[in-house]
Structure 1
Amino acid sequence: MRTQQNRVKMKKNYLFGILSLLAITPAMAQSNEPATLNAIVVKALDYYPKLKEQKVQLEVNDYKTDITKSKYLPTVTGDAMYRHVYPDSYAEFGGGRMSFYPLDQWDAGVKVNQLIYDFGKTGAEVQKSKNEKKLSEDNYRSNSFNFAYQIANVYNNIIFINKSIDAIDAQIEVLSGTKKIIDSRIRNGVGIEFDLVSTQVKLNDAINRKTELQNTLQKNIILLNTLSGTSFNSSSISFKSFDYELRQHSADSIFSIAQTTNTELASARSKQEVAASELKITEKTWAPSLNFMGGVGYKNGYFPGDLYDMKFNYNVGAGLSIPIYTGGRNDNQHNISKVNYKATQYNLDAVSINLKKDIQQNIADEGTAKEKVVFSATQVEQAQKALDLANSRFKNGVITNIELLDAQSNLLKAKVEQIQFEYQLATTQLELKRLMGVQFWNNN
């Protein structure tokens, strides 16, 4: 009997354990979902297929460099040839015939061609290939960098919408409470229908705005999930805090830092290096090339009388190729390279000028947004005090419902403006980080 009870108890414990595991598993899965901006960006950089495509394409540059370096290595080819010749070429001596070459000719062998010296032409081509690889890497790094900041901007949009919904919810709660008070007064014969209708209009307007915000929130969450490979939804996401500092940055110091870390500047410099290496290549088109040539093999047709016997043969030698006249192609190509190099210099200057301009403009925006954030906090505090006073006076019948609704609207307006100013400051400082080349997602 005791044994049977123990078995029943064990079965209950086992069933309870299974149910507990099933209950815990979704919670664990949800807790593993990255929620911080840094975690989302890291996941997005590893997930987004377009970035993966660009990263894979970087391997092509390695192959191109190897192809260029292969010019330093010998070229070995194996050739085999058969040829039938007609008519026969022969001479008759004393009633006999002596052929000068066989009608069926065979030739098989291995040939080697090795570059000995080309006055730096191949070296310049190798350097250009390396510079092109660096340019591709810089472009990929710039694309990944800007993609990370795109994720950050979507993240800030979601915070802005969430905070706006919270402000609307607070207004809806206040309006609902006001509506209950007016309903009670009407039932007691001391309220008027106009106050109830006015409050209901305000309440409906707030509900409609919340519905629009929720729709916008859903779209931004879909965008975030698409870019990062996450699976957030409007009920589980809870981004509610902006990342900003109440301090003013220096345009000169940020521009100085950006000179070495801005990804667009890095790409522009790499582009100029590619143009410089191309210019160096075209400067050497006049240079001769010295090559070693050799081969070994077997063929027939060496000696009269045994023309069909295969004989071993070899040859060694050197060849010098000197460009003398190319119809002006080399000169024109060199002129094109000089123009391209000059264009990349102008492009680098333009990127640097625009970078400085963007930094200065964002510094100006940062100062304005910072002052507005500080001032808006005072406005919210004052609007809240005014609403508290209006609620008290309304309950005592000192002010009308219209005056109470105005106080409620003023508080909502102050909160919305505060959210907007915080959003502007956070977005501006995020852009300053992008211009500086800060990889915020790698910061511990």
Structure 2
Amino acid sequence: MNTKILFRSLLLFFFCIVKINAQEILTIENAVKIALENNFEIKMASNNLDIDKTNLAIGNAGMLPKVTANLVDANRIENSTQTLQNGTVNTLDNAKNNSLNYGVGLDWTVFDGFKMFARLDQLKELQKLGEAQLKRTIILKISEVNAVYFDLVQQQQQLSALDTTIVISTQRLTLAQNRFNIGKASKLEVLNAQVDLNTDKVALLRQKESYANRKIILNQILARDSKVDFKVVDQVKVDDKLILSELIALAEKQNPQLESEIINKRVSELQLKQIKANRYPRINLTTGYNFLDSESSLGFTAAFSARGFNYGLRASLNVFDGFAQNRNEKIAKIQLDNSKIAIEQQSLLLNSELSIAFQTYLTNLELIDLEETNEAIAKQNLSITVDKFRIGTITTIEFRAAQLNYINAKVRNSNAQFQAKLSEIALKELAGNMTF
């Protein structure tokens, strides 16, 4: 009988090992890589940047001429009466007249108060703005992947802690049953051990549910099938070398939100420059080559044709437009002032957020050291309690208290590491330095 039980146990253990090895070990680096390749928000932001790149063209700025091909085919059938100077009257019913006019024309704005150059510079700034927005989308997505990933690491650690408590509770139930069988314990002690074991099993099931749901959420962020199974690493590594002054300096250079506000200010400056350009004259060169063929059933000329080249210059100047020019310039200046205020506001907000996040980061680093110490003490206390429980020198209540203290210490330690990691992620996100 013992041989059969041993064989079944070894077979079950082997099966579990094979199943675990079959699962994908998803590292944070691979998770970020998958997100950058598949995430829908990043793809849309990348497409928007492609639109900005496509719009950056001298033709879109108005620097190139416009060439137009024209064709006019006009036909008439009418009853005509024609009276000549000598009194002769010519009459013709259903007289046919047709005219065919076709050619190519060119219209080129050679001067518009330098508006076209300002427009080209504005298109360049808009492309930079698209790059900053894509960068911000990528940073936010990397931060989200990190947060969900290390939440999974924390929950995986809590699963391990709950597995441990079930082992301890099972051992306690076995000891209580053995003591009851030899008359050294009451039935109540066995029942209490059984209730506590069932309570631990319920907690484990709840934790497994939470862990499975977070895996689905991570798969969703990675834009892959929610049924893809994987495991995460066992530990949370926190970067404890961050320095506030360095983070602030990085943020001033590469925070995408601050960068966007600076670009928006430049766009506003160029918009004002374009509006001011309307005070200058607009000069256009025109040229073309046309063909004209016409036929008339009545008149001095039965047929007419012409071929020729035309050219000219057109100049226009806004003399008075109901003070619209002044209003537009005033509005553009106000918008420029708003963009300057937005930069100051974003810079102040960024420094405040960094300072707050850094203080939380320092606190969480201290909590890690404290909770690691608490876990070690709780583990030692539980070991002593188990030995005392075996020889019957402590009550089941004391045993359960020591057991819960140890499990809670492990959970708090895991949570402290996770919270410190979240603080690290927040700081790097604000600094625009979010990688893995």
2:188 aligned partner, one-letter code: F
What's the CA shift string for 1:207-232, capped at 9, x where partnerless? 11211111111111001111114568
Q: Distance in 1 between matches of 2:153 and 2:81?
A: 93
Aligned to 1:76: 67
Which deviates more, 414-423 or 337-346? 337-346
Please say if 1:281 is aligned against 2:274.
yes
Q: Identify unmatched segments of 5+ residues in structure 2.
A: 1-17, 91-95
Distance in 1 separating the partners of 2:367 and 2:293: 96
2:306 corresponds to which letter in structure 1? K
Q: Report the 3-state secondary structure (helix = DSSP H, G, I; strand = E; otherwise coil) of the residue aligned with 2:157.
A: helix
Shift of 1:188: 0.8
Q: Which residue of 1 aligns with 2:177?
A: 183
Which amino acid is the alignment partner of residue 404 of structure 1? F
Counterpart amino acid of residue 402 in structure 1: I
- After superposing the two structures, state which structure 1 stretch, 210-219 or 333-342, moved more: 333-342
SS at match of 1:310: strand
For 2:212, the aligned partner's letter is: Q
Residue 231 of structure 2 aligns to a residue in which SS?
A: coil
Offset, 1:68? 4.6
| Residues 134-156 of structure 1: CA deviation (Å, up to 9, x unaligned) | 21221122112101111111101
Please give the residue correspondences for 1:356-435 in structure 2 after superposition, counting only pairs within 5 Å. 356-435=351-430
Q: Does the aligned pair in 1 maintain the 2:149–2:232 contact within 8 Å?
A: no
2 CA distance for matches of 1:94 and 1:432?
A: 99
Alpha carbons of structure 1 residues 292 and 233: separation in structure 2 relative to 1, 3 Å: closer
Contact 1:272 1:344 survives alignment (8 Å): yes
3-state SS of 1:153 partner: helix
Quote the Cα distance in structure 2 between the aligned partners of 1:394 and 1:106.
Answer: 111
SS in 2 for 1:176: helix
Instruction: Give the alignment of 1:137-286 within 5 angstroms.
Output: 137-230=131-224, 236-247=230-241, 249-286=242-279
CA contact (8 A) 2:143 2:434 kept: no
Larger % of strand: which? 2
Q: Distance in 1 between matches of 2:384 and 2:228?
A: 35
Q: 2:290 aligns with which of 281, 290, 297?
A: 297
Contact 1:68 1:129 in 2 (8 A): no
Cα drift, residue 38 of structure 1: 1.2
Residue 92 of structure 1 aligns with an amino acid whose one-letter code is Q
- What's the offset of the Cα at 1:243? 2.0
Q: Is structure 2 residue 36 aligned with structure 1 residue 42?
A: no
Offset of 1:250 from its aligned partner? 2.8
- TM-score if structure 1 supplies the norm length? 0.85
Matched, 1:321 2:312: no
Q: Secondary structure at the match of 2:392?
A: coil
Alpha-carbon separation, structure 1, partners of 2:58 and 2:81: 46
Q: Say yes or no: does 1:108 pair with 2:108.
A: no
Identity of matched residues, % = 19
Q: What amino acid is aligned across from residue 54 of structure 1 in structure 2?
A: A
Amino acid at match of 1:149: S
Aligned residue in 2 for 1:52: 43
Tell me how far apart the structure 1 counterparts of residues 58 and 114 of structure 2 sit (CA, whole Å).
16
Q: CA deviation at 1:357?
A: 1.1
How much does 1:379 deviate? 1.2
CA distance in 2, matches of 1:36, 1:361: 30
- How many angstroms does 1:206 deviate by? 1.7
Checking the alignment, whether the CA contact within 8 Å between 2:25 and 2:230 is kept in structure 1 is: no
Preserved contact between residue 275 and residue 341 of structure 1 (Cα < 8 Å): yes
User: SS of 2:304's equivalent?
Assistant: coil
TM-score by length of structure 2 reads: 0.86
**Which deviates more from structure 2 when the two are superposed, residues 384-393 or residues 333-342?**
333-342
**Change in 2 beyond 3 A, CA 1:382/1:233:** farther
Change in CA separation of 1:130 and 1:147 when aligned onto 2, cut-off 3 Å: same
Matched residues in 2 for 1:353 and 1:132: separation? 24
Corresponding residue number in structure 2 for 1:10: none
Task: For residue 287 of structure 1, report the CA deviation from its aligned partner.
Answer: 1.6
Residue 70 of structure 1, CA deviation = 6.0
Aligned AA (1:252): S
Distance 1:52 1:175, change over 3 A: same
Q: Find the aligned partners of 2:405 and 2:101 in 1 and give their Cα distance.
A: 99
Gaps of 5+ in 1: 1-25
RMSD of aligned residue pairs (Cα, Å): 2.8
- Contact map agreement 1:362 1:428 (CA 8 A) in 2: yes
User: By how many angstroms is 1:71 displaced?
Assistant: 2.1
Asked if residue 436 in structure 1 is aligned to residue 431 in structure 2, the reply is yes
Matches of 1:38 and 1:336, distance apart in 2: 48
Displacement after TM superposition at 1:307 (Å) = 5.6
**Contact 1:175–1:203 (Cα < 8 Å) also in 2:** yes
Deviations, residues 247-291 of structure 1 (Å, cap 9, x unaligned): 4x3322211111112122122222222222212111212121111
Cα distance, 1:95 vs structure 2 = 5.3
Match for residue 93 of structure 2? none
**8 Å CA contact retained: 2:45, 2:137:** no
Evaluate the alpha carbon distance shift between residue 110 and residue 230 of structure 1 in structure 2; reply closer, same or farther with a 3 A threshold.
closer
CA contact (8 A) 2:173 2:194 kept: yes
SS state at 1:355 partner: helix
Aligned to 1:92, the other structure's residue is in SS state: coil
1:306-361 CA distances to partner (integer Å, 9 max, x unpaired)? Answer: 46221222221111011112223222222222222222222222221121111111
CA offsets, 1:384-430, max 9 Å, x none? Answer: 11111111122122211211111111111211111111111111111
The more displaced of 115-124 and 87-96 is 87-96
* Cα displacement (A) at 1:80: 2.2
Q: Secondary structure at the match of 1:81?
A: strand
The answer on whether the counterparts of 2:112 and 2:278 sit within 8 Å (CA) in structure 1 is no
Count of aligned residue pairs for this structure pair: 410
